[in-house]
Amino acid sequence: MTSLVAMRELSGSQDGFGGDLRFGETGPGAGLRGADKICATIADKSLPGAGSKTWRAFLSAAAGEDGNQVDAIDRIGEGPWYDRLGRLIASNKEELLSERPTGAEGGLADDLPNEDGVPNHQPDPSQPEVDNHDTMTGSDDKGRLFGATATCSDWTSAAADRNSKPRLGHSWPRNFGGGGPGGGGFNMAHWMSAHDAAGCTPGVNLVDAGGPAQGSTSVGSGGGYGGIYCFALTP
């Protein structure tokens, strides 16, 4: 999970990237390539040398470099996957394809750690927990493309277009007195497919307000900052 600190630093903005993850890349597939580069850059900042691994952002797209659909679950290798501190998150795709990753050590499944191995619900241990669960994936609960309008134009747009709403997962379960699938395509506990964001514009909200602010078009207005999940193809 990419931390808010890292996303602010790399984007050069306190509001983060929003839905435009090109990060200097151009041409077909630029959003996915840029997101992968973001993952590698953040990994190397946390652990020098780690950026030399092949990194993949857990993002789906309607069209990749070859114009064909890209599904996040097909981008990340076969596992196993560990966090920055060497703790197991999942051994294989079967363990990933659950509401929360099964097989994860300790309580990691219910609070996926950032690039420093810190549980993302409370990234600063000296401060209270923050509402930062929303994580961009563009994916359904099988890790496949959720829909053509669920990817911010394949991660190249931060425009205020109300018809483009990136699909989000939850880095920690955000339940309202229950859990599990709800109406309207909501599953507030699912790590890869919980609900749609309000839109693709950059924005950060860390205060629990019960959902996106009325009229907002921000990736983070419902509790987040446009973070993404990163996987290395080799441990």
Per-residue pLDDT tens over the stretch 60-114: 999 999 999 999 999 999 999 999 999 999 999 999 999 999 989 989 999 999 9
pTM: 0.94
Specify the amino acid at residue 18: G
Measured CA distances, 224 to 61, 132, 134, 137, 231 (Å): 21, 4, 5, 13, 20
Per-residue pLDDT tens over the stretch 189-221: 999 999 999 999 999 999 987 777 778 999 999
Which two three-digit tokens encode residue 39? 């993952």
